Amino acid sequence: MLEHTLWHPVALSQAVGAQAQAATLLGEELVLWRDDAGVAQAWRDQCPHRGARLSLGRVVGGELECPYHGWRFAAGGRCTHMPAAPDFQPGPRHGAHGFAAQEAYGMLWVRLAEPEGPPLPIHALPRFAAEDELSLRKTTSGPYAVAASAPRIIENFLDMAHFGLVHEGWLGSREHTAIAPYEVRPTPYGVLATGCRAWQPRSSIHAESGAEVEYSYEVTAPYMAVLTKQPEPGSSAIDDHHEAIAMFVCPVTEESSVVWTRMAMNDFDSPDARLIEFQDHIFGQDRPVLESQRPKRLPLAPDAEAHGAADRLSTAYRRYLRQAGIRFGVIA
Ligand code: FES
Ligand SMILES: [Fe+2]
């Protein structure tokens, strides 16, 4: 499946330590841990000996020890020791099954299968790239475990027409529900919408008044998108206030996900806790609606659900998923 050849976020980097932990990606159960050299490991959460969960094991001397018979596995998965046969030299078939893993944007990313063509990188995100590393302040909210498919969650992130209802008094108002026309175009990696505008009573923790806020949205991978937002001058306590929010979704099963948001902004003073609290509040408003949507998998047929004129971005997102051949979390 194409999805298996793409990079997906599975955990905050800072949450992956010497303690083994479980995660699930595309239905594949993983054990995550960090070796002595600080390199994050992502393996199948199943011991090659008798199938016990390695995530129940412990890290001993920089190796992961299975909880059942104590086989030990070094970074990369090689079996180094069998307590019941201490003189036996384990071979490749005794090793744990490892997956490609790398860290970026404060997250651990895992790829379950090698692509046939040239491997895709984790797509560079506007305002999160290395050259912006020093110029904007970053923080991450989540994880949010959600009983919704990854594409439903991304589509909600791209949707401005719910602001006045779901986020009334925060990101929208019932007096300003109309969505002005905006531009949508495909990109080599996804979809880009620009010139999006929303009137928001409280677009951030720094809003001093309601304001028109200009947005752009970019889908950069099937389950990843980033928005930029800039309130009109004079409406924020911060001069030239601008921020970007990336939504990272781990597709856990076809109908459940884990979500993080990564924020980049020219606010260098607010404590992380305040910024995270705002995101927690907004996502808490989205959650009940997201978990209520049926079918849970996003239907991609053009006429499967009814659309309005404000839905051009979400229909472009569905078209992109269809053309890319995405199968997980959708009804193709
Ligand atoms: S099941 Fe893991 S060591 Fe036996
Ligand atoms: Fe929302």
119: in domain: no
Q: Does residue 85 sit in the same domain as residue 175? A: no
What pTM does this model have?
Answer: 0.95
Nearest CA to ligand 1 atom 3: 69
User: Token pair of 234, please?
Assistant: 């004079």
Average pLDDT over residues 101-112: 95
Domain boundary among 63, 78, 111: 111
Nearest CA to 99 out of 168, 32, 22 is that of: 32
- Region 91-110 average pLDDT: 96
Q: Answer yes or no: is 141 within a domain.
A: yes
Tell me, yes or no, whether 280 lies in a domain.
yes
* One domain, residues 90 and 140: no
Quick one: 71 and 188 in the same domain?
A: no
Q: Please check whether residue 121 lies inside any domain of the structure.
A: no
Q: What is the pLDDT of residues 156-192, one digit of tens each?
A: 999 999 999 999 999 999 999 999 999 999 998 899 9
How far from chain centre, in Å, is Cα 201? 27
Residue 293 lies in a domain: yes
208 close to 237: Cβ distance less than 8 angstroms: yes
- Beta strands of the chain (E only): which ranges? 8-12, 21-25, 28-34, 40-44, 58-60, 63-65, 72-73, 79-81, 100-104, 107-111, 137-146, 183-186, 191-200, 211-221, 224-231, 243-253, 256-265, 298-299, 330-331
- Determine the distance separating the centroid of ligand 2 and the alpha carbon of 162, expressed in angstroms: 7
260 in the same domain as 320:
yes
Domain that holds residue 92: 2-111
Does residue 118 lie in a domain region?
A: no
Q: Are residues 87 and 139 in the same domain?
A: no
Is pLDDT of 236 > 80? yes
5-19, 129-143, 185-199, 265-279: lowest mean pLDDT where? Answer: 129-143
The pLDDT score that the predictor gives to residue 189 is: 86
Q: What is the pLDDT of residue 111?
A: 96
Q: Cα(30)–Cα(46) distance, rounded to whole angstroms?
A: 8
Does 80 share its domain with 146? no
Answer whether 260's CB lies under 8 Å from 144's CB. yes
Q: Is there a domain that residue 120 lies in?
A: no
In this predicted structure, the answer to whether residue 264 has a pLDDT above a threshold of 80 is yes
Asked if residue 149 and residue 72 are part of one domain, the reply reads no
For residues 55-60, give the mean pLDDT: 97
The predicted pLDDT at position 126 comes to: 63
The residue behind tokens 């018979």 is 69
Q: What is the count of structural domains for the chain?
A: 2
Probe residue for ligand 1, chosen from 55, 60, 63, 71 as the CB with the greatest number of ligand atoms within 8 Å: 71
